[in-house]
Structures are given as structure tokens and as C-alpha cells.
Amino acid sequence: MRKALYAGSFDPITCGHLDIIQRASKMYDEVTVGIIINPSKAALFDVEERTSMIKCVTSKLDNIKIDSFTGLLAKYVNNNKFDVVIRGLRAITDFEYEIQMAQMNARLYNKGTETVFLMTQPKYSFISSSMIKEVVMLGGEVDGLVHEEIYKLTKKKFNVK
């Protein structure tokens, strides 16, 4: 069985993330969406909220697992014996950071785990969770960039009608 990990903050999950998850789910037997609990990044949604949001938007996919972890990604990968770590590339600007991270992680993985990059669809290449939060907080609309339910929950957090 080929097990993949797609890790991130997912605060909140966007259609760009979901697109990567859907494509990865066709490529691997099991895809774990790993929510990082990162003390240096202030989160809008707690881990339970992020987990239920991911569950909601991936409910039609039958090979998705949702988990959370803290600390070094490579430790989590080694402990769970993932074959592959999926990363989405949005633009050339992501590349430099991603290659550094992939090469450092390659040293830290016990054996054989590969980093696989999927190109983000152009229609999602400009979005990030922070940008979605900022636009929603200021009353802008983000139709088609986040799932309708996520949009509703984000508006609720910011008390936006």
C-alpha cells in the first residue's frame, strides 16, 4: 500500500489544497492530510475545527485520513512510514523554499520517502489561507476559492454577515 502525506496548516483549507488532495487521492492508496500544530503561526481555527472542516470538504473521497502533528515533519513521516510527501507548487517563488525543505527532509527521512510536487492549478496559484482570511475579514467575497461551508465558518469567526 502506497501511503502519502499532505501536510500544512490548513487554516483554513482552500480549494487549492482540496485540488491537490483530490489529485493525490487518485495517485496513492491512502492520503493523510496532516495538520501541523505550529506554535509560531497564530491560527484562526483550532485543530478540532480544522479537522472537521477538512473532513467536510473531503467527505466524497474514501482514501483520506486526517491527523495532526507537532514538531519535525521528518519525524512524523518516519514514525508513520509514509512513502511520499506531497507538496503543491503555486509559482516559481515557492520553488526555492520548497527545494531547500525537500533536500533537508531527504536527509532526515529514514529511508526511501520521496517528496512529490504537484503543480497547483493556475486558478488557485495566487491564494493562501492568510489571503482568504484577510479578504473575508474585510468583507470581500471568495467564491470558488474556498468551499461554501468554509466561507461561512470563516465569516462567522470574523463576525462578518
Place of cell 491512502: 30
Is residue 159 left, alpha or beta, with left meaning phi > 0 and alpha meaning psi from -120 to 50?
left
Kind of pairing, strands 64-69 and 30-36?
parallel
Question: d(Cα 20, Cα 92) in Å, to the nearest integer?
Answer: 17
Annotated catalytic residue, options 17, 50, 87, 133:
17
Q: Is 11 in the site for ligand COA (CB under 6 A)?
A: yes
Taken as a whole, the chain contains a residue count of: 161
Q: Write the binding mask 79 to 118 for ligand COA: x where contact by CB under 6 A, - elsewhere.
A: ---------x-x----------x--xx-------------
Q: Is 36 in the site for ligand COA (CB under 6 A)?
A: yes
H or E, element range at 35:
strand 30-36
C-alpha cell at 118: 504537484
Q: Is 17 in the site for ligand COA (CB under 6 A)?
A: yes
Q: Is 120 in the site for ligand COA (CB under 6 A)?
A: yes
Q: Which residues are catalytic?
A: 17, 41, 90, 129
The footprint of ligand COA (CB under 6 A) covers 7-9, 11, 14, 16-17, 20, 36, 72-74, 88, 90, 101, 104-105, 120, 124, 127-130
